[in-house]
Amino acid sequence: MSTDDAALWQEIESLLDAALDRAASQRQAYVHARTENNPELRKRVLALLAASDDAGDFMETGPADQASTTQTTASEEASGQIGPWRILELLGRGGMGEVYKAQRDDGAYHQTVALKLLRGDQDAMLSRFESERQILADLHHPGIARLIDGGLTPDGRPYMAMEYIDGQPLATWLHETRPSLERRLAVFLELCPAVSYAHSRLVVHRDIKPDNILVDRDGRPHLLDFGIAKLNPEALSANATQALATPNYAAPEQFSGETITTATDVYGLGATLYFLLCGRPPVDLDGLSLPRMLDRICHAQPKPPSMRVSGPAMAPLRGDLDAICDKALARDPQQRYASAQALADDLRRHLNKEPVQARAPRFSYRAGRLLRRHALAASAALAVLASLAIGLAATTWQAHQAALERDIARREAARLSTMRGSILRLFRSAASELDTDQLTARELFAQSAGNIERDFGNDPATAAALMQMLGELQLFTEDYAGARELLQRAQALPQDQIDAEVRASIDINLAHLAYRDGDYLRARQLYDQAVAVWQVAPQRYPSELIWAATLASQLARAQGHTAAAVEHLRDAAGRARAYWGEAHEETGIVLINLAVALYYDNRLAEALTACAEAWTVWQAIGKQNSPDALNLLANWGLFALRHGDPYEGEKRLAAALDLRTALYGASAAQATLMKNLGVAHRINGLRNAGMRLLEQGEWMAEKYAGAGGRLHASAVYALARALSEDGLIEEAQQRLRASLTQQTTTPTSWHHLNRALLARLSPDAASAEALFSTALQGLAASGDAALSQYADALALHATWLQEQGATAQALDVLDQAITHKTRARHAAHYEVLSMNRRKVDLLRAQGLGDAAQTLWQQSREQALGQLGPQHPISALFADPL
């Protein structure tokens, strides 16, 4: 929160508190008098004051008092007999009174009931209590605790005897029985008919929450406490009745003064479903002041339930169940399910593996073009110092397996054992010379490297081998500057005194660093030197040659030879299977690299096949939660989106985000995943969930990658595009302007695309033309690397031209966009299909009806074949021309 926002909230809270201290009739006048020169403050405080008035007694007694329960004995007032009922024990206390377990004691017949008694100091609640009693008298449903009897105590206090449910509150049942997801959903589905029945009798419960649901011994739910329910011949005004609902589960309209309808109970059901899925209420209000509490209730959109759990519990909630909760908990009642039955029907669709209505298209055709080409996520650092001994032991084992002769294996094992001891001694010595309380890996490496020449100055062979090992460890921990310095020092030692294989290892690691620096010629020279050593006895260096092929592939791709890059890794994959076998971690890594090479060669179907093969490896070896599996999932999701399968992309990206969060927490790489998954959500109809991820991803990209850089610019574009499509034009413009102002590097394709989007949103024609000109020139100069973004900028320009009335020019520019997007993707890709739908409209506007009909039919068949009839992109072609 900014300093200005914090100051505003302090003013709001101070003024609201002062107003609430006054009589209700004086509050509005007091606020008007205090805010003559601050209309914004007046507006905010009056709104919260109205919400506070609507909150009624909840704000007086507080949530803890109303929710409190106890198992003490009956109070003096209620001890003994009430009518024909003998009090047994106190079951609980609420805002209106007490509930007792009681037994019929007049000899007529045996019956146990829950007897609800209005407290003696609650005269103001009398009408509400009598209203509940009348409502229950008219309700007869197995899912609603029925009214059995009613009357007055000798001192005139009303009571009602209700069906006694031998069971547990929903929250207790959930905690103690630990039911499966399927069982939780089954209980919820049994609850919905009770609410539907109440609605059919014109009753709105208004306080559906876990505390008002009991699960009996047979696992059936029962709805309780109609104490604030109202008859609903049409609709209710929240201003006419006090909203005593528990705020964590209450609909926004119950505190904002808007109309109360059956949609309020749909929200309550959605909140209860949310609790059943993740064990938490949709809105957390703990520790909030009254103004912030009311503001959050009225304006916050709950996070998807899958984001409130961790580990294996996330995956089953992703997608349909997130979407169902998102729709049921929409702030706008009109956006919720039309009824409790409609909510239950959609949940059954999910259980039957049918498309759910919550994910049906709810946005214009422009949303289908949201996805953009994204950079591959970088793989994480894989090594830590504590694993050094294990890693060297594994190297000893591999050397033994690869050796052709037993004496070679013994010699290699002895050498590596000596190296291991030397490395550990170096680390111990370095650690003793540094402040271990503040010791970092980088300092340990630097101090150890400095000690090598001191301790091994007369032994260049050992010094070089140790420097090579430390340098490689620094590469793994992404300390590239430290690795380069150390490896170059090793290379400067007398080469004729260094083992050939150590020289080869130094050369290949320096080659990787040269590749990172963009010095491809130097990288190739070093690569050739290393491979020449290994090729002398290839049977002795199988793993070295396999990993060298990865670098060869990267160099080929960097120089535009994408087909050759694929062939290098196809050969490496064959070698890996022969050397390590199918179910081996190293084979899986080679397959991931092959998938990346295929992706860059635009062979997306083959790339997805390679991803599936790699995933089979991770499953076989039980490493589905490893950093390499994370890298695979992130790439797999991106490839699926690029190939035009947003459902598969969403599935893999969600799994990748879950895993990255569990492994590493917040980072720049997590920001990229949030952006990609947010885009996928919106393509698939999860607009609110997608927007939340895009907002989080943009914030995280700025924090961890820096404002104005390439990653932040791409996150801003995705967010601004979503904001503009939701009608939040001013906010989108602010984000885009800030991104361009913060630009700290040479403009990237994403900066140019942000400029094009800002032009599209600009109300000034001259300014828009200038922005488009700069953006399109920059993207055209970027060549094929920015082909997809260039197509998007052209499409934005076409839309702007159409709005200016230049239909013929818009059609020409859109044709260019489709041509470039088809080259970057393929003809049946959803981005191309979205552009085709816009072209259909332009063709018709130009009087070219036959061409429009042909394109519409062709695109419709492609959309149905690629995405299926339920996808939002297919819906663009649902209505015939």
What is the predicted pLDDT for the residue at 320?
85
**Burial letters for 489-505: b for 16+ Cβ neighbours within 10 Å, e otherwise?**
bbbebeeeebeebbbbb
What value does the CA radius of gyration of the chain take, rounded to a whole number of Å?
A: 34
Q: Which of 671, 670, 629 is nearest to 652 (CA)?
A: 629
Higher pLDDT, 371 or 180: 180
The whole-angstrom separation of Cα 757 and Cα 762 is: 9
Q: Say whether pLDDT at 370 is over 80.
A: no
Q: Which of 39-43, 74-78, 203-207, 223-227 has the lowest mean pLDDT?
A: 74-78
Q: Say whether pLDDT at 304 is over 60.
A: yes
Pairing of strands 112-118, 97-104: antiparallel
Given 17, 33, 55, the domain boundary residue is: 55
3-state secondary structure of 667: coil
**Burial letters for 767-801: b for 16+ Cβ neighbours within 10 Å, e otherwise?**
ebeebbeebbebbeebeeebbbbbbbbbbbbbbbb
What is the predicted pLDDT for the residue at 436?
41
Residue 619 lies in a domain: no
Q: Say whether pLDDT at 491 is over 90.
A: no
Runs of H (alpha helix) within 152-233: 170-177, 181-200
What is the predicted pLDDT for the residue at 61?
34
What is the predicted pLDDT for the residue at 761?
93
Q: Is 737:717 a contact under the CB 8 Å cutoff?
A: no
Residues 262 and 241 in one domain: yes
Pairing of strands 259-260, 213-216: unpaired
Residues 97 and 243 in one domain: yes
| Sign of the CA dihedral running 646, 649, 653, 654 | positive
Task: Show which residues are catalytic.
Answer: 207
3-state secondary structure of 706: coil
Residue 873 lies in a domain: no
Q: What is the dihedral of CA 267, 273, 276, 279, to 10 degrees?
A: -40
Q: Say whether pLDDT at 744 is over 70.
A: no
The whole-angstrom separation of Cα 57 and Cα 60 is: 5
% of the chain exceeding 70 in pLDDT: 75
777 contacts: CB under 8 Å, gap ≥ 6: none
Binding-site residues, in ranges, read: 116
Q: Which of 579, 554, 574 is nearest to 565 (CA)?
A: 554
What confidence tier does 414 reach under pLDDT thresholds 50, 70, 90? very low
Residues 48 and 87 in one domain: no
Residues 7 and 75 in one domain: no
> In 10 A of CB 83, how many CB atoms?
18
Question: For all residues of the chain together, what is the average pLDDT?
Answer: 78
Greatest mean pLDDT range, 71-75, 377-381, 653-657: 653-657
The whole-angstrom separation of Cα 228 and Cα 243 is: 8
> In 10 A of CB 263, how many CB atoms?
23
Residue 492 lies in a domain: no
Q: Say whether pLDDT at 567 is over 90.
A: yes
| Sign of the CA dihedral running 65, 66, 68, 71 | positive
Q: Is 647:612 a contact under the CB 8 Å cutoff?
A: no
Angle (nearest 5°) at CA 715 between 872 and 600:
75
Q: How many structural domains compose the chain?
A: 3
3-state secondary structure of 217: coil
Residues 80 and 147 in one domain: yes
Q: Phi first, then psi: give them for residue 104, nearest 5 degrees.
A: -65, 135
The whole-angstrom separation of Cα 215 and Cα 193 is: 15
Q: Which two tokens stand for residue 785?
A: 């690397």
Q: Say whether pLDDT at 405 is over 70.
A: no
What confidence tier does 541 reach under pLDDT thresholds 50, 70, 90? confident
617 contacts: CB under 8 Å, gap ≥ 6: 582, 583, 584, 585, 587, 588, 591
The arithmetic mean of pLDDT across residues 259-280, rounded, is: 92
Q: Is 41:12 a contact under the CB 8 Å cutoff?
A: yes
Residues 72 and 30 in one domain: no
Binding-site residues for ATP, in ranges, read: 116
Containing H/E element for 660?
helix 646-663
Runs of H (alpha helix) within 379-405: 388-402
| Tens digit of each residue's pLDDT (9 = 90 or more) over 508-525 | 999 988 887 778 889 999
What confidence tier does 862 reach under pLDDT thresholds 50, 70, 90? confident
The whole-angstrom separation of Cα 770 and Cα 523 is: 42
Measured CA distances, 731 to 269, 332, 429, 835 (Å): 33, 21, 57, 25
Residue with tokens 């059943």: 276
Runs of H (alpha helix) within 684-764: 687-705, 710-725, 729-742, 749-761
The whole-angstrom separation of Cα 317 and Cα 322 is: 6
The whole-angstrom separation of Cα 467 and Cα 444 is: 13
Residue with tokens 């397996």: 401
pTM value?
A: 0.48
Q: Say whether pLDDT at 437 is over 70.
A: no
Higher pLDDT, 19 or 52: 19
360 contacts: CB under 8 Å, gap ≥ 6: 685, 870, 872, 875
What is the predicted pLDDT for the residue at 34?
77
Q: Which domain holds residue 48?
A: 3-55
The whole-angstrom separation of Cα 324 and Cα 186 is: 15
Residues 212 and 348 in one domain: yes
Number of continuous H segments (helices) and E segments (strands) in the chain: 37, 13
Q: Is 198:205 a contact under the CB 8 Å cutoff?
A: yes
Q: What is the CATH number of the domain that holds 300?
A: 1.10.510.10
The arithmetic mean of pLDDT across residues 804-833, rounded, is: 89
Given 307, 337, 359, the domain boundary residue is: 359
Higher pLDDT, 477 or 400: 477
Residues 138 and 18 in one domain: no
Q: Which of 17, 8, 1 is nearest to 44 (CA)?
A: 8
**β-bridge partners, 259:** 237
Residue 340 lies in a domain: yes
Residue 524 lies in a domain: no
Q: Which of 633, 686, 649, 693 is nearest to 322 (CA)?
A: 686
Q: Phi first, then psi: give them for residue 301, nearest 5 degrees.
A: -100, 125
Residues 142 and 233 in one domain: yes
| Tens digit of each residue's pLDDT (9 = 90 or more) over 592-610 | 999 999 988 878 889 999 9
Q: What is the DSSP string of 9-61?
A: HHHHHHHHHHHHTS-GGGHHHHHHHHTTT-HHHHHHHHHHHHHHHHHTHHHHH
Measured CA distances, 59 to 14, 20, 131, 209, 290 (Å): 17, 11, 22, 18, 9
Q: Is 509:531 a contact under the CB 8 Å cutoff?
A: no
| Tens digit of each residue's pLDDT (9 = 90 or more) over 573-584 | 999 999 889 999
Q: Which two tokens stand for residue 371?
A: 């996805």
| Tens digit of each residue's pLDDT (9 = 90 or more) over 110-151 | 899 999 888 655 555 666 677 667 777 778 889 998 888 888
Higher pLDDT, 645 or 215: 215
132 contacts: CB under 8 Å, gap ≥ 6: 160, 225, 226, 227, 229
What confidence tier does 409 reach under pLDDT thresholds 50, 70, 90? very low
Q: Say whether pLDDT at 643 is over 50.
A: yes
Q: Which two tokens stand for residue 625?
A: 């939660």
Residue 576 lies in a domain: no
What confidence tier does 421 reach under pLDDT thresholds 50, 70, 90? very low
What is the predicted pLDDT for the residue at 557?
83
The whole-angstrom separation of Cα 413 and Cα 866 is: 55
> In 10 A of CB 452, how many CB atoms?
23
What confidence tier does 23 reach under pLDDT thresholds 50, 70, 90? low
Greatest mean pLDDT range, 202-216, 298-312, 430-444: 202-216
Q: Which of 547, 550, 487, 531 is nearest to 513 (CA)?
A: 487
| Tens digit of each residue's pLDDT (9 = 90 or more) over 821-834 | 888 777 888 889 99
The whole-angstrom separation of Cα 850 and Cα 317 is: 46
Read off the DSSP letter of residue 868: -
What angle separates helix 500-516 from helix 480-491, to the nearest 10 degrees?
140
Q: Is 20:52 a contact under the CB 8 Å cutoff?
A: yes
For the range 842-848, what are the long-range contacts, defined as Cβ-Cβ under 8 Å and sequence gap of 24 or more?
A: 842/798, 842/802, 842/807, 842/810, 842/811, 842/814, 843/811, 844/881, 845/807, 846/807, 846/808, 846/811
Given 373, 402, 421, the domain boundary residue is: 421
What is the predicted pLDDT for the residue at 720?
94
What confidence tier does 477 reach under pLDDT thresholds 50, 70, 90? low
Residue 267 lies in a domain: yes
Pairing of strands 167-169, 213-216: antiparallel
Residues 71 and 201 in one domain: yes
| Tens digit of each residue's pLDDT (9 = 90 or more) over 40-84 | 778 777 766 665 554 443 333 333 333 333 333 344 445 578 888
Q: Say whether pLDDT at 361 is over 60.
A: no
What is the distance, to the nearest Å, from the Cα of residue 729 to the centroid of all Cα atoms in its chain?
24
What is the predicted pLDDT for the residue at 652?
94
| Tens digit of each residue's pLDDT (9 = 90 or more) over 317-343 | 877 898 899 899 988 888 899 999 999
Higher pLDDT, 721 or 244: 721
What is the predicted pLDDT for the residue at 362?
35
Q: Is 565:557 a contact under the CB 8 Å cutoff?
A: yes
Q: Which two tokens stand for residue 306?
A: 């899958």
What confidence tier does 446 reach under pLDDT thresholds 50, 70, 90? low
Higher pLDDT, 375 or 816: 816
Q: Phi first, then psi: give them for residue 435, nearest 5 degrees.
A: -75, 105
Residues 265 and 140 in one domain: yes
Q: Which two tokens stand for residue 507?
A: 């050369």
Residue 480 lies in a domain: no
The whole-angstrom separation of Cα 473 and Cα 468 is: 9
Residues 288 and 321 in one domain: yes
What is the predicted pLDDT for the residue at 292?
61
